[in-house]
Amino acid sequence: MKRVITCFCVLLTALSLVACSKEAPVQQPEPTAVVQTTPELSTNLPDNVTPDVINTEKQTKVLIAYFSCSGTTEKLAQYAADILGADIYEIIPETPYTQEDLNYNNSSSRANQEQSDPSARPAISGSVENMENYDTVLLGYPIWHGKAPRIISTFLESYDFSGKTIVPFCTSHSSGIGSSDTDLHSLCPDTVTWKPGERFPAGTSKESIQKWIDNLNLSPENTVGTFNFETKTVLLNSGYEMPILGLGTYSLSDEECESSVSALLEAGGRLIDTAYIYHNEAAVGKAVRESGVPRDEVFVTTKLYPNQFANAAEAIDESLERMGVEYIDLMLLHHPGENDVQAYKAMEQAVADGKIRSIGLSNWYVEELTEFLPQVSITPALVQNEIHPYYQENDVIPYIQDLGIVVQGWYPLGGRGHTGELLGDETISGIAAAHGVSSAQVILRWNLQKGVVVIPGSSNPDHIRENLDLFGFSLTEEEMAKMNALDRGEKHDWY
């Protein structure tokens, strides 16, 4: 896949849903200004790894800036931050608003006085550090008498937003965003790009915010670890894009494997997962080479098995030779074992040498990662573990993602010998019937909406095509909750 050279992220400033006159305001807590940041990625590279090999430029970040009195806007801001993996900043008045301050029926109340005075600029407690790091800001606020609260004007005049994109959004019971967003334009330099504002009522769901963000087209690129459902890719912390769904080749013979990979590529799939221990790397390479699909559009993952760890450098060269490719998109250590740190460092060297683009781990969990990561230089781009509705790893997935590492699930359909039971589960089949799709599609879509890359295995061309057709529907929050409730902690393999 093509490497993403530019650093990007959408600066989202302020997602603040506050109701109008009929919603009782709530007094704010004592002011404390804090920007809640996404975790920094550890990219400590070996001395001989140059920026030409790994993208070491600082990733720009998304900022969600919001002002909220009742908590309505705050909730939506948090939704946006979760969806985008963005930093979040609450605009807190130096003098908090009391309920009496927000008494809209009292013409002399503080809020009414401010709104009637275009020059009013309520002071803000604290500030955003390193505002220059943000490219796009989502700015949220409640509607007060058809306008943005004057404290939003204070915020916009406190920073240089030159060259940035600002996306306003507001909350109110009945009025739309009106001119509240365009009235703010004059407060910023002409070089600011303004996206049309959006109004949300109280009780707006996270799903609705997801749809709104998806339609903003703020950037053609992904932020690290955030799934782009339009391009069907995710940006790895190594700077390369990877498809979010593809084909697993475990237990496929050479002939089956070659046919399956060919079927995947013909159907538009571009992600293939193999391993030394599968004994079909050669078949994968042959299918890729003979597909007619440009090599840089195909993403090939393979793995080193523990019996290769002691001689990992030679094993990497052997994988390249077996597949007949110039580079491997992603190589993983198959599972922990003796000399695993040594083997990982050999993969780091192979990255420096241009033989591998991204590296990661398979079957590493919280305890293993806690011990392993301090011993290596390059943060894994991906961790691949068993994940399906009966074994969900709900404690492990967020731990890995918070490290800036993408999660991929093997056995997404339960694994051989268990697929039938999983596909026949009444909860899953009921959701499938409601959407007019298969149970397999529901399970795979559930994974994607959890931020888990899927690599279902199949030798059936019809199933391969079906497993790629996941973007014509989405699961509601209620359906996601039903799927999450199926977790049994039931592991189907020993890794």
Q: What amino acid occupies position 335?
A: H
- Residue type at 278 in one-letter notation: Y
CB 297 within 8 A of CB 264: no
Please state the φ and ψ torsions of residue 182, each to the nearest 5 degrees. -70, -25
Question: Of 278, 390, 391, 411, which one is the catalytic site residue?
Answer: 278
Whether residue 66 contacts residue 15, with contact meaning beta carbons closer than 8 Å, is answered with: yes
User: 61-66 and 134-142: which strand pairing?
Assistant: parallel
Nearest to 231 by CA among 223, 216, 221, 218: 221
How far, in Å, CA of 200 to CA of 174, rounded? Answer: 9
Q: What CA–CA distances, in Å, run from 106 to 28, 103, 109, 312?
A: 20, 6, 5, 75
Measured in degrees and rounded to the nearest 5, phi and psi for residue 320 equal: -60, -40
CA distances for 369 relative to 206, 309, 399, 400, 405, angstroms: 31, 18, 10, 9, 11
Q: Which residue has the tokens 């809209």?
A: 104
> Is residue 278 annotated as part of the catalytic site, yes or no?
yes
Say how far apart CA 98 and CA 149 lie, in whole Å: 15
CA distance 111 to 100: 9
Active site residues: 278
